[in-house]
Structure 1
Amino acid sequence: MRISLRHNSDYHALRTGDPTKIALDYSEDPAVVARSLPRRPAGERKTVLLLGANGFIGMHLLRELLLDTRVGKVYALVRPKGDQTGEARIARTARKYKMALPAMDKLVVFEAGYVEPRLGLDDARYEELLTSVDVVVDGAGATTHEYPYSRYRAEKVVPTVALAEFCLTKRFKTLHVIGSVGSEVYRQRRDFLRRSFFFQGYSRMKYVVKHLALRANRDGVPIHLYQAPFALGGPLTSFKDPGMEYSFWNMIGHMVQQGRTWESDARIPMVAGDVLARTVLDNALSEAPRAITYPVTPVTNAELATRFDLETVPWRTFRRDLIRANRVRPAEVDWKHPLSSTRRARQRAAFIRSLFPRCLPTALANIDAAAHTSPVVLGSTLEPIDVLEANARNIRKLAKDLPPEPTRESLAPAHATEPLPTAA
């Protein structure tokens, strides 16, 4: 069985704003191949291949897989880096986010890069995965936004097609890809011409992955997509997440510094990492997984305003005053290094304009509408605004500008138990 992305069909879709232009070629009918392949009987424990296990979302997925009684074995692919083993990189990430992992007896770690042919594995290990895996969970991918689409295409779009082919070779496997709700910003052709932060190569890649996955699923390829929002820390990490690496926290930070937010009916997409992981795995391990899932627990600007004591103003007023407050000023110039200091100030001002483009309310409205076309009930004992605040107070750069914390009940879930020992 061979699957390939038809030549430049993704570029054509991005140029025209028409996702139906994305086309896949198959050496055989994928639906027929899927029915003919051996698969594990219903009720038996499954073998899962996890990509990106040492990332923030990947750590949550790994923990849930190790705890889930429906899973008998977990293979984790971790990219080699320096002298560190894959197991050491996983343990390091667990320590970074203060996450306790359960017993690792059903975990097998392979050091390889999934963007490489045959997952970067030798013949014996690749054959082992081909013939034993039942479920592939792809939690790997870029976390930065500044590269062009061509780079993300090579890192994510082409490997997704290769994984789809892997899942229809020798044994039936379902593929579960973590996408991004940010790809929903594209609604009209002119959206592809925008140049702000939210409309660059990263979002284009997520848009292509979404529509490629939906197209393949309709053709009979067992690929399933999760349009994830900003994944924040939850109780498992003591409400610690990547912090100011996120555009999300940079936006919240500018609101807090200004003491303002804007009037909006659209909700801000977010979810705690543990809730996201459970949602993905409950669908992935079911006998009839959904083709697309939006695991979003949103917060509103009104909730932000109340919790952080922010003034609510019209969008144009908010953006105008934010841009003015962050213009390049002579006082910012270091006259010992005038060129470099001026360049940094201009980059900061440009970044803020890009974070808050004129079309931001429309983009958020598009995301909010998409995320609630097929709502999913997410199991969480915490209110989303409580999760957001708990994380914000863990970020030193943000916490210093927040109002004093009121006395409230602990955010730890009522059913929380003693943490499991961290894996060595």
Structure 2
Amino acid sequence: MHISLRHHSDRVALSMGNPNRISLAYSEDPRAVAKRLPRRADDEPKNVLVLGANGFVGMHMLRELLGDTRVATVYALVRRKGDKSGEDRIARQLRKYKMELPDTGKLSVLEGSYLEPAMGLAPADYDKLLTDVDVVIDAAGATTHDYPYARYRQEKVLPTLRLAEFCLRKRFKTLHVIGSVGSEVYQQWRDFYRNSFFYTGYSRMKWVVKHIALRANRDGVPIHIYQAPFALGGPSTGFKDPGMEYSFWNMISHILQLGMVWNSEVTSPVVAGDVLARSVVANALSNAPRVISYPVTPVTTQEIAERFDLKLVPWPVFRRELIRQHRFRLGQIDWSKPVASIRRGRQQSRFVSSLFPPSFHTLLNNIHTAAANPTTVRVDADLPSIDVMENNARRIRKLSRYLPEEALLVPVPVPVHASVPAPVPVPEPVPVGAV
């Protein structure tokens, strides 16, 4: 079974702003292939392969899957890095976020990469995955916005097609890809020609992956897409997340320093990492998973203003004041290193302007409208999103100094939905051939 993009149709779709231009070619009819492949009964426990298990979202997927009685085995595919094994890299991330996994004996850590032929595994191990796995959760991929679409095409778009092929070989498997609600900024032709932080090769890649998934699913390929928002720290990490690595927290930093936020009915998309994982796993393990989901627990600017003691102002007023305060001035020049300091100052000014472009309210409205799609599942959150946001902000040093002192942290709740054994660090991996 081979799946390919016809005549660079992804690039044509991007140039025309038309997802209907995306066209896929199949060596066989996907529906016929899927029909003849063996599959487990609906009530049988499933074996799940997780890609990107050492990432922030991937760790939450592992935790949710290992505690789910509907799962028999969890395979975690992680690249070896230098002298750090796959188990070492997962353990390091768990320590970083003070997170633990339930010791259920179901975890098998494999060293490889979905970007390599046969996932970089020995033939016997790869064949074991082909014949044993029922569900693939793809939480891997780049987290930076710095590269052009051509690079992301090689690192994510084309590999997604290879994963779809994997799911239609030897055993029927469903593929669940973590996309980005940020790709919803592209709604009109002119959106593809805007120039700001939100309109980049990264966002274009996410838009293409979304529409490839929708196109392929209509053709009979068992692929499902999750338009995820910013995944913040939840109770399982003590409300700790990647922090200032996120553009979201950089934006909140500027809002807090300014002491104001724009007044709007349009919400901002966030979700706690454990809530996101629970939503994805619930859909992935269901007997009839939906094609596209928006696991978003939105927060309003009114909630942000009230919780952080900010002034609500119209969007034009907010942006004008923000740009005024971050305009590059001669006083910022370090005369011992004038060229370097001028370059840094101008870059910072352009970055702030790019984070809050003139079209910002429009793009947020596009995301808000998509996430409010009535056909998507309701997300069962443990806490209001504004509580999650505040708890995270108070654990980020750069932000905590701007927060009202009298506000109290929300106590970490004990999730009532989970009943798992006492957590321990990453268990010893189970050899693939022994499962």
What SS does the aligned partner of 2:178 have?
Answer: strand
Question: Could you report, residue by residue, the CA deviation over 1:83-111 in whole angstroms, capped at 9, with x for unpaired residues?
Answer: 01100100100010111111162111111
Partner residue, 2:174? 174
One-letter code aligned to 1:383 = P
What SS does the aligned partner of 1:212 have?
Answer: helix
Alignment of 1:92 onto 2:92: yes
Contact 2:2–2:165 (Cα < 8 Å) also in 1: yes
Write out aligned runs for 1:6-405 (5 A): 6-103=6-103, 105-373=105-373, 374-405=375-406
- Length-normalised TM-score, structure 2: 0.95
Contact 1:225–1:291 (Cα < 8 Å) also in 2: yes
Distance in 2, matches of 1:237 and 1:284, equals 23
Question: Are the structure 2 counterparts of residues 107 and 411 from structure 1 closer, same or farther at C-alpha, using a change threshold of 3 Å?
Answer: closer
Question: Could you report, residue by residue, the CA deviation over 1:305-346 in whole angstroms, capped at 9, with x for unpaired residues?
Answer: 000011111111111110110111222211111111111111
Report deviation, 1:75: 0.8
Report deviation, 1:414: 6.6
One-letter code aligned to 2:115 = V
Contact 2:268–2:299 (Cα < 8 Å) also in 1: yes
Question: Could you report, residue by residue, the CA deviation over 1:188-216 in whole angstroms, capped at 9, with x for unpaired residues?
Answer: 00000001000100000000000000000
RMSD of equivalent CA atoms: 1.4
Question: Are the structure 2 counterparts of residues 5 and 405 from structure 1 closer, same or farther at C-alpha, using a change threshold of 3 Å?
Answer: farther
419, 423, 429: which is aligned to 1:420? 423
Question: Could you report, residue by residue, the CA deviation over 1:103-131 in whole angstroms, capped at 9, with x for unpaired residues?
Answer: 16211111111112221222111111111
Contact 1:231–1:272 (Cα < 8 Å) also in 2: yes
Report deviation, 1:411: 4.2
Contact 2:138–2:175 (Cα < 8 Å) also in 1: yes
Q: Which runs of 5+ in 2 are unaligned?
A: 428-435
| More deviation, 386-395/96-105 | 96-105
Distance in 1, matches of 2:409 and 2:120, equals 50
Report deviation, 1:421: 2.6
One-letter code aligned to 1:397 = K
- Length-normalised TM-score, structure 1: 0.98
One-letter code aligned to 2:125 = R
Distance in 2, matches of 1:207 and 1:414, equals 34
Contact 1:382–1:413 (Cα < 8 Å) also in 2: no
Distance in 2, matches of 1:33 and 1:138, equals 22
One-letter code aligned to 1:366 = N
Report deviation, 1:353: 0.6
Question: Are the structure 2 counterparts of residues 123 and 408 from structure 1 closer, same or farther at C-alpha, using a change threshold of 3 Å?
Answer: closer
Question: Are the structure 2 counterparts of residues 160 and 409 from structure 1 closer, same or farther at C-alpha, using a change threshold of 3 Å?
Answer: closer
Report deviation, 1:218: 0.3
Q: Which runs of 5+ in 1 are unaligned?
A: none
What SS does the aligned partner of 2:114 have?
Answer: coil
Report % sequence identity: 63
Report deviation, 1:350: 0.7
One-letter code aligned to 2:106 = K
Distance in 2, matches of 1:154 and 1:241, equals 28
Contact 1:386–1:411 (Cα < 8 Å) also in 2: no
Contact 1:100–1:420 (Cα < 8 Å) also in 2: yes
Report deviation, 1:410: 2.2
